[in-house]
Structure 1
Amino acid sequence: MEEQQPVNVNSLAAAVSYNRGRESGMHAGYEEGYFRGRANAIAARRGRAFPVRPLHILYVSSGKLYPYSPIDQAIIATLQDMVRQVTIADPRQQLADIAAQVKPDLVLALDGMEIPLHQVDDIRNKGIRTAVWLTDDPYYTDTTSQMAPHFDDIFTLEINCIDLYRQLGCSSVHYLPFAAYRGHYFPLTVPSVVRRDVNFTGSAYWSRVYFMNPIMPQLMSYNTGINGLWWDRIENYHQYASKIDVNKWHGPEDTNQLYNGSKIVINLHRSHLDESVNNNTILKIPAASPNPRCFEICAASAFQLTDARDNMASFYKPGEEIETYSTPQELIEKIEYYLTHDKERQEIALRGLERTLKEHTYAHRLHQMLSILFP
């Protein structure tokens, strides 16, 4: 009788493990490819066509660096597709002289805090209409309340600030939140160079530090990445330093990679009561409206887990297009849930993308602004 060779148990186990890993990898690759295909199909749909208006706009940029400069870029690029002519200026230039020379239909300023107010007054005295789109309401209302009455038209991204400017005598005050710029935030067609379970991008304001401190061990037990200013403030920072890009700003291209490469993107709004960075000490106006990041995350086809704000449901349906949390523990619980429910997470992300492209791009916002100013 032929002698049987002994079975190499280790080799058999390795083969089984390899095959299981291969099948799992193929399944994961198929699922991601299917998701990206659907996301890009949504992004490729023909959107609403906006009219090109016979207007000349003198656009005054914020005069600030990131994160304001990408918003400047988004507004300029969008306006150039929507009006006859856009002249671009910097707040440090002699704006009244430029306006007198080019004779625009409108001088539109982003933020406005770097513009000498006598320049705005001079422009208005020449019979040229002025408008400002305020970027940081309600966090700097001590300053904006002094500045706003110098402009003809006020656009604020915070619904709770409308009454403030009207009480100051501003006759034309409108709620206009920011949006997503499709040139910056969009679904990738190939896997991102970043691979994370959880991502958070933003500065470590003290309110965020206090919120995160008690859950950091659980949060960082996942493949989690954090980037932004001041995150060395967090308790036991040295334990998590390898997962935190401290004091590093990511531009739109890198941020879009982060969003596309993360299963869950956390959005945590700043507090209106943080006197160490805010200038909202007199009225302490609370914030109810979503930040620009809310729209940008969805535009990148990412699943967003955001803290609840009073006016959030006006933009997205919680549980259908985004997901919300109210406490640190609820955040951890929903991270655990959605990391193990891939299909549900992806469907919410796709619905959030679709809603954003239908209603929350800069083209939608600027069409609304121009329809108000030039009905």
Structure 2
Amino acid sequence: MKKTVLISAPNYYGIDSDIKDAFESLGFKAVLINNFPHKISERVGIKIGNCFPVLKAMINPIQKASLITENESFITMVSRVKPDLLFIIRGDFIFPETLARIKEITSCPIVGYAWDEPFHSHDKKNIDDYRGYNFKNGVPWYDLIFVFDEFYIDKIKKQGAKNVYYLPLATNPNRYKDILVTDQDRCDYDYDVCFIGLPFENRIEMFECLSDYNLGVFGDHWTKHFIRRGQKTPSYYRGRASGETVNKIYLSSKIVLNIHHPQSIEGLNTRTFDIPACGAFEMVDYKKNVERHFEIDKEIVTFRSINELKSKIDFYLENEDLRKSISEHGKQRVLNEHTWVHRMKDNVIELM
């Protein structure tokens, strides 16, 4: 009889489903529960609280009521599914007392995975007083915690966790893969440099310095980002991209740029692995763990400053054969070591 993994995760660009698929590929029954970062009422409450802090005492009970309902549903699901492993990703919606109740109804290991910064230090204005502290206060109830960036391990241990380990992010090669790119695709997406992701200030700062290149930037929330600041959306922004279009953009562009969110101190985002999985050429801002997972300049290219980035863009635009060689080596490294199946097989399922 198959063992069962119950996964709780935000619905975030399909990564939650990628992890579910990885468990199923390894022969497990995987049940995925999606929790949503914030309901509309929560988002409105957060904005009001930020603008009028004196009203927080009135808003907090409303925020908590929404989470109580979600926590009760989660406890019910655990009781019904009776999992052999409870795998909680992010965990900011789960009250510590919910974890205590789960401990009373099941003996299965409770494993947490912080796939982004666990204490919201980069996102204080967009988080309520409960989600901002639930994981931190619930840390002692987890049997084991994985985190995407080793930088946060000691910080989590200081909250009372005994077993905290590094678990890098990964890719799903069934989604990010080398696909057929037509002549029309190459015409549509033939950029010197491309990027797909959300608008953060460190990224925008770099893009503003790349006006000499044919730059194509895609992703969600870019127009909204600039409207809120009373600014015009930059011409390098080309629109949203999802599904196979992402692969086509990566494969049609000469250089695929990867710039991390400031929360990544040493660790890597999923894009680090998605890009090579497609067979595309990646240039990424340097993080310590790039060297742990790739051979720099053979499988991936890094940069540490805007001047170095521009110098390397110029060099690699003139060296197509070298780009292809690095792309191929990077692809093989990712497919051999850096898929979600590798992550779950090598780190998680031994707990079962």
Alignment TM-score, normalising by the size of structure 1: 0.73
Match of 1:169? Answer: 160
Match of 1:216? Answer: 210
Residues in 1 aligned to 2:81 and 2:207: alpha-carbon distance in whole angstroms: 51
The root-mean-square deviation of aligned C-alpha atoms, in Å, is 2.6
Residues 89/204 of structure 1: CA separation in 2 closer, same or farther (3 Å cut): closer
Q: Is the 8 A contact 1:212 1:328 kept in 2?
A: no
Match of 2:196? Answer: 201
Residues in 2 aligned to 1:75 and 1:260: alpha-carbon distance in whole angstroms: 24
Residues 239/177 of structure 1: CA separation in 2 closer, same or farther (3 Å cut): closer
Quick check: 1:94 aligned with 2:73? yes
Match of 1:266? Answer: 257
Match of 1:345? Answer: 323
Match of 1:77? Answer: 21
Q: Is the 8 A contact 2:282 2:301 kept in 1?
A: yes
| Partner-residue secondary structure (3-state), 1:78 | helix
Give the unaligned 5+ runs of structure 1: 1-52, 273-285
Quick check: 1:230 aligned with 2:222? yes
Q: Is the 8 A contact 1:204 1:233 kept in 2?
A: no
Residues 269/318 of structure 1: CA separation in 2 closer, same or farther (3 Å cut): same
| Partner-residue secondary structure (3-state), 1:125 | helix
Identity %: 26
Q: Is the 8 A contact 2:139 2:160 kept in 1?
A: no
In structure 1, which of residues 358, 364, 367 is the aligned counterpart of residue 336 of structure 2? 358
Residues 101/139 of structure 1: CA separation in 2 closer, same or farther (3 Å cut): closer
Deviation digits for residues 116-166 of structure 1 (CA, Å, limit 9, x no counterpart): 443322112222321121121267256443343332221110111111122
Amino acid at match of 2:93: E
Number of aligned residue pairs: 298
In structure 1, which of residues 290, 293, 298 is the aligned counterpart of residue 271 of structure 2? 293
Q: Is the 8 A contact 2:109 2:351 kept in 1?
A: no
Match of 2:145? Answer: 154
Residues in 2 aligned to 1:164 and 1:238: alpha-carbon distance in whole angstroms: 40
How far residue 357 of structure 1 moved from its aligned partner, in angstroms, is: 0.4
| Partner-residue secondary structure (3-state), 1:317 | coil
In structure 1, which of residues 223, 239, 244 is the aligned counterpart of residue 237 of structure 2? 244
Alignment TM-score, normalising by the size of structure 2: 0.77
State which structure, 1 or 2, has the greater radius of gyration over its C-alpha atoms.
1
Amino acid at match of 1:77: D
Give the unaligned 5+ runs of structure 2: 36-69, 122-131
In structure 2, which of residues 90, 100, 110 is the aligned counterpart of residue 121 of structure 1? 100
How is 1:22-61 mapped onto 2 (pairs within 5 angstroms)? 54-61=2-9
Deviation digits for residues 332-365 of structure 1 (CA, Å, limit 9, x no counterpart): 1111111110001110000000000010000000
How far residue 252 of structure 1 moved from its aligned partner, in angstroms, is: 3.7
Amino acid at match of 1:106: L
How far residue 239 of structure 1 moved from its aligned partner, in angstroms, is: 9.2
How far residue 58 of structure 1 moved from its aligned partner, in angstroms, is: 1.3
Mean alpha-carbon deviation: is it higher for 185-194 or for 170-179? 185-194
Mean alpha-carbon deviation: is it higher for 121-130 or for 290-299? 121-130
Residues in 1 aligned to 2:78 and 2:346: alpha-carbon distance in whole angstroms: 24
Amino acid at match of 2:144: D
Amino acid at match of 2:22: T
Amino acid at match of 2:324: Q
| Partner-residue secondary structure (3-state), 2:254 | strand
| Partner-residue secondary structure (3-state), 1:61 | strand
Match of 2:60? Answer: none
Residues in 2 aligned to 1:167 and 1:371: alpha-carbon distance in whole angstroms: 26
How far residue 54 of structure 1 moved from its aligned partner, in angstroms, is: 4.3
